[in-house]
Amino acid sequence: MILFFALLFVASAIAGFCAFVIFWPLTLIHVRDRHPDLGERFGPGAFMQPAALAWLMRGDYRSTGDRSLSGLATPARISVLVILAGLGMAGLLWLVFEILK
């Protein structure tokens, strides 16, 4: 039963990854089109750049005052948190399984 729940957490991490792949590029395109100074700071190919991901995870997009940007970046941020939580919980349950085995 423990491994079943671990697989469910992995499935939630996969769902979070799917949401991230949808919302993060849309956020970056919005930044490129409406906030060129911010887009220049990230540079080209910002999809997996640590500076852009840190900007997302810190929630710095809220300081722009652009509600459309917040509407795109918030689901991307939540999806990253779902990925991390899902994989963390799956790893924890796997560890519990190994200890109880």
For residue range 50-72, list pLDDT tens digits in order.
Answer: 999 999 999 999 999 999 999 99
In this model, does residue 45 exceed pLDDT 90? no
Q: What is the average pLDDT value for the chain, to the nearest integer?
A: 94
In this model, does residue 86 exceed pLDDT 90? yes
Average pLDDT of the residues in 8-18: 97
Average pLDDT of the residues in 16-35: 97
Q: What does the chain look like in DSSP terms, one character per residue?
A: -HHHHHHHHHHHHHHHHHHHHHHHHHHHHHHHHH-HHHHHHH-SSGGG-HHHHHHHHHTGGGGG--HHHHHHHHHHHHHHHHHHHHHHHHHHHHHHHHHH-
